[in-house]
């Protein structure tokens, strides 16, 4: 449903009822709809492809750029910044007019204030030809991207059409496009022509759900990072839990893990998670690997363990029993006699580590340990002693082989999390070196987790401020597929035309499959700090399934105070920490009935 104001849903419902009553095809009874037209009677609810999604219309907040700033060829551009109605009418007014001199196109770039998932709505006026004319539309995550052409510096229409031409109606509205974008460029096509446009709005599609979890501290930079991670995942909660809203509008199972932990932390239970996990399962008959990647099938197991702990849905876990058991049996065949993993398929952790075979092996060995530990736990819950024993035997074998840590922060993070290497060693030797250099957006979450296991909370906070904060410094409103702090040097902001002498960060950088403008600037796998800050700084650790028991153990580092909320299956837990003059922390906590709180001694 498209919403413009609070009355819209009610008015729409009234109109629908009136239509059916008028045409004699609706009978209202005490039980609801007693009769519907045949097309609705045969409607298959299982085929609903956008469950729980809402669309709102956004007015642009500024005009970033015009092809001509004399006011002669781009006229009344400021009219687009006024809230509209989405309805063409017969009135005259001072509306946007684009005029082409010869074959030189006139156009402008609009900013909608922050990244969104959706499309555009264009409304024309009576002062046009029939049809009004053709325009080229480009939607992008940076100003530079909407100024590029397809195949130029990686610009694509790969997973969503974000660069295309359309014909606008003489006097009407056209809704076009579905992509992740903040900026839109509209250019008039044709020779010696003009067009008058009343409105250009964004149609923002999202799940209209509350932010049940929260995090606020004495450091506004950390607060903004927490919320940006939450918003990044929220945008990707579409029909399924996607990895990106411009590119990678797909269910990548490994990438889901930081996203699912953020959903747990911010939104609590949401059906988009089991819907996505089940899709991955159903698309991957064994012995295949999810997304063709062996580690991603292991992430599926780890996600189910975490999802069960946070929500305690035993019935849903039981639905996974058969597939889970067969997957664990298959994984057990991928260990050699010396305890070394011999996984096939695509051997992948994340993109920055993908060329380092030793690091990938260390990470996969660690993931095998973590997966069989989770498998043993889930098998015990499911009452499957045979599979639980298989997991324990596999763990005994795997722990006989401890790979070299190399200098990879990805490998060090997983080795520390799995316990194959003591976390303090992984932190001191690798993770604490070079500040935020050699971090990655996906595996940065696990680097932070191992630093927490090592007790280095201050080092992790410094990483978060420098690394994820670096994206904010460049104008990001969502977190990116990849980032390197070295990109900050002499960089222009993504929300402006790149000034002379500055580097266009979007066009100049990227690697592997995400070179230049193909690079996604809203990637859910980058949201790890949101879950991490709630778990380790606000100090929330779930001890029993469904959040029945929670330990509160804050680690404020250099913060003076932190407060927030955490969703459980029984309601919201409210937490407040204040650092006293002697450095100890005073904690107050309010929990709903049925939730037991264990507080650490400060």
How far apart are the C-alpha atoms of 277 and 79, rounded to whole Å?
46
How confident is the model at residue 557, as a pLDDT? Answer: 96
How far apart are the C-alpha atoms of 386 and 428, rounded to whole Å?
39
How confident is the model at residue 38, as a pLDDT? Answer: 54
pLDDT above 80: residue 50? no
Residue 310 inside a domain? The answer is yes
For 254, the domain range is 214-537
How confident is the model at residue 153, as a pLDDT? Answer: 83
How confident is the model at residue 2, as a pLDDT? Answer: 58
pLDDT digits (tens, 9 = 90+) for 338-388: 999 999 999 999 999 999 999 999 999 999 999 999 999 999 999 999 999
- Mean pLDDT value across residues 270-293: 98
Q: Do residues 569 and 529 both lie within one domain?
A: no
Residue 493 inside a domain? The answer is yes
Q: Do residues 158 and 220 both lie within one domain?
A: no
Q: Do residues 187 and 230 both lie within one domain?
A: no
Q: Do residues 243 and 316 both lie within one domain?
A: yes
Q: Do residues 201 and 238 both lie within one domain?
A: no
> Which range has the worst mean pLDDT, 6-20, 225-239, 256-270, 501-515?
6-20
pLDDT above 60: residue 47? no
Mark which of 154, 184, 207 sits at the end of a domain.
207
Residue 228 inside a domain? The answer is yes
551: which 2 tokens? Answer: 């330990």
How far apart are the C-alpha atoms of 37 and 25, rounded to whole Å?
6
In total, the chain counts a number of residues equal to: 602
pLDDT above 50: residue 437? yes
Residue 477 inside a domain? The answer is yes
Q: Do residues 423 and 328 both lie within one domain?
A: yes
Q: Do residues 21 and 100 both lie within one domain?
A: no
The answer to whether the CB of 119 falls within 8 A of the CB of 175 is yes
Q: How many domains does the chain divide into? A: 4
pLDDT digits (tens, 9 = 90+) for 528-583: 999 999 999 999 999 999 999 999 999 999 999 999 999 999 999 999 999 999 99
User: Dihedral of CA 438/439/442/448: which sign?
Assistant: positive
- Mean pLDDT value across residues 393-398: 98
Q: Do residues 110 and 222 both lie within one domain?
A: no
Q: How many CB atoms lie within 10 A of CB 548?
A: 15
How far apart are the C-alpha atoms of 339 and 207, rounded to whole Å?
45
Residue 487 inside a domain? The answer is yes
Q: Do residues 306 and 455 both lie within one domain?
A: yes
How confident is the model at residue 484, as a pLDDT? Answer: 97
Q: Do residues 562 and 485 both lie within one domain?
A: no
Q: Do residues 169 and 247 both lie within one domain?
A: no
pLDDT digits (tens, 9 = 90+) for 189-222: 999 999 999 999 999 999 999 999 999 999 999 9
How far apart are the C-alpha atoms of 69 and 360, rounded to whole Å?
53
How confident is the model at residue 179, as a pLDDT? Answer: 97
> How open is the CA angle 365-367-373, to the nearest 5 degrees?
110
pLDDT digits (tens, 9 = 90+) for 144-156: 999 999 988 889 9
178: which 2 tokens? Answer: 């579905």
pLDDT above 70: residue 37? no
Long-range contacts from 555-559, C-beta under 8 angstroms, 24+ separation: 555/452, 555/457, 556/585, 557/457, 557/458, 557/461, 558/458, 558/461, 559/217, 559/218, 559/219, 559/222, 559/461
pLDDT above 70: residue 27? no
How confident is the model at residue 152, as a pLDDT? Answer: 82
Residue 50 inside a domain? The answer is no
pLDDT digits (tens, 9 = 90+) for 53-111: 999 999 999 999 999 989 999 999 999 999 999 999 999 999 999 999 998 999 999 99
Mark which of 178, 207, 236 sits at the end of a domain.
207
How far apart are the C-alpha atoms of 407 and 411, rounded to whole Å?
8
Mark which of 515, 537, 559 sits at the end of a domain.
537
Q: Percent of the chain at pLDDT above 90?
A: 89
Q: How many CB atoms lie within 10 A of CB 408?
A: 23
- The pTM of this model reads 0.92
Residue 302 inside a domain? The answer is yes
- Which of 54, 7, 48, 49 has the alpha carbon at shortest distance from 204? 54
Indicate the average pLDDT of the chain: 92
The CATH number for 140's domain is 2.60.120.260
Q: Do residues 14 and 100 both lie within one domain?
A: no
How far apart are the C-alpha atoms of 168 and 174, rounded to whole Å?
7
- Mean pLDDT value across residues 476-489: 98
3-class SS letters over 472-513: HHCCCCCCCCCCCHHHHCCECCCCCCCCCCCECHHHHCCCCC
| Banded model confidence at residue 49, pLDDT cuts 50, 70, 90 | low
The CATH number for 562's domain is 2.60.420.10
Residue 49 inside a domain? The answer is no
Q: Give 313's contacts (C-beta < 8 A, 6+ positions apart).
A: 269, 307, 546
Q: What 3-state DSSP class applies to 107?
A: strand
How confident is the model at residue 602, as a pLDDT? Answer: 60
Backbone angles phi, psi at 467, to 5 degrees: -80, -65
Q: How many CB atoms lie within 10 A of CB 399?
A: 16
Q: What 3-state DSSP class applies to 301?
A: helix
Helix axis angle, 321-332 relative to 385-398, nearest 10°?
30
pLDDT above 60: residue 16? no
């Amino acid at each position: 449903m498209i919403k413009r104001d609070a009355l819209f849903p009610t008015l729409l419902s009234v109109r629908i009822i009136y239509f059916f009553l008028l045409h004699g095809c609706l009978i209202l009874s005490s039980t609801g709809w007693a009769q519907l037209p045949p097309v609705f009677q045969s409607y298959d609810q299982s085929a609903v492809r956008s469950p729980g999604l809402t669309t709102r219309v956004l007015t642009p907040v500024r005009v970033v750029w015009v092809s001509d700033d004399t006011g002669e060829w781009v006229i009344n551009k400021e009219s687009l910044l006024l809230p509209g109605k989405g309805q063409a009418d017969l009135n005259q007014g001072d509306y946007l007019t684009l005029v082409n001199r010869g074959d030189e196109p006139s156009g402008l770039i609009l900013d909608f204030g922050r990244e969104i998932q959706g499309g555009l709505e264009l409304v024309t006026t009576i002062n046009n030809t029939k049809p009004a004319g053709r325009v080229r539309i480009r939607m992008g995550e940076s100003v530079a991207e909407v100024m590029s052409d397809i195949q130029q510096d990686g610009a694509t229409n790969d997973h969503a059409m974000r660069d295309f031409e359309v014909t606008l109606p003489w006097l009407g509205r056209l809704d076009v496009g579905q992509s992740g974008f903040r900026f839109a460029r509209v250019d008039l096509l044709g020779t010696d022509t003009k067009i008058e446009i009343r409105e250009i709005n964004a149609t923002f599609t999202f799940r209209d759900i509350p932010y049940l979890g929260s995090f606020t501290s004495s450091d506004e930079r950390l607060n903004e990072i927490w919320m940006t991670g939450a918003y990044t995942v929220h945008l990707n909660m579409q029909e399924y839990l996607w990895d990106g809203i411009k590119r990678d509008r797909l269910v990548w199972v490994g990438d889901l893990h930081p996203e699912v932990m953020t959903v747990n932390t911010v939104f609590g239970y949401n059906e988009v998670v089991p819907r996505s996990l089940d899709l991955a399962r159903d698309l991957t008959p064994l012995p295949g690997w999810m997304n063709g990647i062996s580690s991603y099938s292991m992430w599926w197991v780890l996600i189910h363990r975490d999802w069960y702990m946070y929500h305690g849905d035993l019935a849903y876990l039981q639905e996974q029993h058969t597939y889970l058991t067969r997957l664990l049996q298959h994984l057990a065949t991928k260990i050699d006699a010396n305890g070394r993993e011999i996984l096939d398929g695509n051997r992948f952790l994340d993109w920055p580590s993908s060329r380092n075979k030793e690091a990938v092996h260390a990470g996969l060995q660690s993931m095998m340990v973590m997966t069989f530990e989770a498998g043993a736990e889930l098998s015990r819950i499911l009452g499957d002693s045979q599979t639980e024993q298989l997991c324990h035997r596999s763990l005994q074998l795997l722990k006989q082989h401890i790979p070299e840590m190399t200098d990879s922060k990805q490998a060090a993070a997983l080795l520390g999390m799995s316990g194959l290497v003591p976390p303090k060693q992984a932190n001191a030797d690798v993770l604490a070196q070079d500040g935020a250099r050699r971090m990655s957006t996906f595996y940065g979450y696990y680097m932070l987790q191992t630093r927490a296991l090592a007790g280095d909370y201050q080092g992790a906070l410094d990483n978060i401020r420098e690394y994820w904060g670096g994206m904010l410094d460049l104008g990001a409103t969502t977190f990116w597929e990849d980032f390197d702090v070295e990109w900050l040097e002499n960089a222009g902001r993504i929300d402006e035309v790149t000034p002379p002498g500055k580097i266009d960060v979007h066009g100049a950088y990227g690697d592997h499959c995400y070179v230049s403008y193909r690079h996604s600037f809203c990637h859910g796998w980058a949201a790890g700090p949101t879950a991490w800050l709630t778990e380790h700084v606000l100090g929330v650790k779930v001890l029993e399934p469904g959040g029945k028991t929670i330990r509160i153990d804050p680690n404020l580092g250099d913060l003076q105070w932190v407060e927030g909320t955490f969703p459980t299956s029984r309601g919201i837990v409210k937490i407040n920490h204040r650092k006293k003059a002697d450095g100890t922390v005073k904690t107050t906590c309010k929990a709903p009935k049925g939730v037991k709180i264990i507080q650490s001694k400060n």
